[in-house]
């Protein structure tokens, strides 16, 4: 099986588990485990939303939108257009339900596609790729593609290499058959430079580099 097929199969079966990470109303033990292993996810969510405080009239692309938490939150901020791309049907169903429940289904567009094959008919002011590069085998080609369709800025997370907690993640994902990729700061800088993102801010958010690339 190709590496991307493994990623897709993995996410098809993880919708509820992944979505629950954003749920604030959960048992104490899960809150502790989230704090230990997943605090990056909440933190990068807050920082990304702060970076997208004013998206009124903007065109936004959410690459690997998953259960749609970013998509739906930003759809409420009056963008001109907001598109979520994901290759997992189950993730997109969840995202659509969230959009429907929040009254923004007519604002959002949902594209089921491997991002590498997606041919957008437009460029976007803001591109998000959060929790996405963890699963990308050839990051330079994907970053170049983002660069080519991004007009203003891209907000992208890359998981930090050489973290002790990565061992647990590597073993768990290996067991579940999903490849995962990590990055050094130098690799992130090189990727950004080679893909043409000349002016980037890199913030260390626990286990992630959160990049605001322009």
Ligand X SMILES: C[S@@+](CC[C@H](N)C(=O)[O-])C[C@H]1O[C@@H](n2cnc3c(N)ncnc32)[C@H](O)[C@@H]1O
3-state secondary structure of 213: strand
Q: How far is the CB of 87 from ligand X (least distance, A)?
A: 4
Q: Rule CB under 6 A: say whether 64 interacts with ligand X.
A: yes
Regarding 95 and contact with ligand X (CB under 6 A), the answer is no
Phi-psi bin for 124: left (phi > 0), alpha (psi -120 to 50), beta? beta
Q: Closest approach of Cβ 134 to ligand X, in Å?
A: 7
Please report whether residue 4 would count as binding ligand X according to CB under 6 A: yes
Q: Two tokens at 100?
A: 């429907």
Tokens of 169: 């993640």
- 3-class secondary structure, 8: helix
| Residue 105 CB, nearest approach to ligand X (Å) | 18
Min dist. Cβ of residue 135 to ligand X (A): 5
User: Should residue 84 be labelled a site residue for ligand X when binding is judged by CB under 6 A?
Assistant: no
Q: Is 114 in the site for ligand X (CB under 6 A)?
A: yes
**Binding letters toward ligand X, positions 128-167, x by CB under 6 A:** --xxx--x--------------------------------
91 binds ligand X (CB under 6 A): yes
Residues 6+ apart with CB under 8 A from 144: 194, 195, 196
DSSP helix/strand/coil, 30: helix
User: Which one of residues 47, 79, 115, 192 is an interface residue with ligand X (CB under 6 A)?
Assistant: 115
Q: Does residue 87 touch ligand X according to CB under 6 A?
A: yes
CA distance 56 to 80: 7
Phi-psi region of 66 (alpha: psi -120 to 50; beta: other; left: phi over 0): left
- Shortest gap between Cβ of 71 and ligand X (angstroms)? 8
* Per CB under 6 A, 209 contacts ligand X: no
Are 140 and 191 in contact by the 8 Å Cβ rule? The answer is: yes
116 binds ligand X (CB under 6 A): yes
Rule CB under 6 A: say whether 124 interacts with ligand X: no
From residue 123, give the alpha-carbon distance in Å to each of 59, 82, 133, 153, 206: 8, 11, 20, 12, 31
CB atoms < 10 A from the CB of 106, how many? 9
Q: Is 11 in the site for ligand X (CB under 6 A)?
A: yes
**Interface ranges with ligand X (CB under 6 A):** 4, 7, 11, 18, 64-66, 69-70, 85-88, 91, 114-116, 130-132, 135
């Amino acid at each position: 099986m190709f590496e991307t097929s493994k990623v897709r199969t993995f996410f098809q079966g993880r919708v509820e588990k992944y979505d629950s990470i954003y749920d604030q109303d959960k048992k104490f033990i899960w809150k502790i485990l989230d704090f230990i292993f997943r605090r990056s996810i909440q933190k990068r969510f807050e920082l990304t939303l702060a970076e997208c405080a004013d998206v009124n009239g903007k065109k936004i692309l959410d690459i690997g939108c998953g259960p749609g938490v970013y998509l739906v939150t930003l759809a409420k901020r009056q963008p001109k257009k907001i598109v979520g791309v994901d290759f997992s049907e189950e993730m997109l169903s969840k995202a659509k339900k969230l959009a429907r429940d929040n009254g923004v289904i007519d604002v959002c567009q949902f594209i089921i596609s491997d991002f590498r094959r997606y041919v957008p008919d437009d460029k976007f002011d803001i591109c998000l790729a959060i929790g996405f590069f963890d699963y990308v085998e050839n990051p330079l080609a994907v970053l170049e593609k983002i660069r080519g369709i991004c007009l203003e800025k891209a907000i992208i997370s890359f998981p930090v290499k050489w973290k002790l907690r990565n061992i647990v993640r590597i073993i768990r994902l290996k067991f579940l058959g999903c490849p995962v990729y990590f990055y050094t700061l130098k690799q992130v800088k090189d990727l950004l430079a080679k893909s043409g993102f000349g002016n980037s801010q890199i913030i260390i958010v626990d286990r992630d580099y959160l990049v605001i690339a322009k």
